Amino acid sequence: LEEFTKEREKFTQDLTSQKRAEELNLWLQKIREKAKIEDNSSLFFSP
């Protein structure tokens, strides 16, 4: 029974970590889609 409890805890931690990573990736994806990126490198570097 002790081994089962340890395995269950490990499994729960793994699932929690996986879900957290998925949510972070979704959040970053949404931010990137909404971002307005302008190339202003010409203001700093002259050809």
What is the predicted pLDDT for the residue at 46? 76
Residue 15 neighbours by CB under 8 Å, 6+ apart: none
Domain boundaries, the chain: 1-43
Query: How much is the pLDDT for 16?
Result: 98
How far is the C-alpha of 25 from the C-alpha of 20, rounded, in Å?
9
What digits encode the pLDDT tens for the residues 1-47?
899 999 999 999 999 999 999 999 999 999 999 999 999 999 998 76
Cα–Cα distance between 41 and 15 in angstroms, integer?
43
Task: Say how far apart CA 9 and CA 16 lie, in whole Å.
Answer: 10
Please report the pLDDT score of residue 47 as a whole number. Answer: 66
Question: What letter would DSSP give residue 16?
Answer: H
pTM over 0.95: no
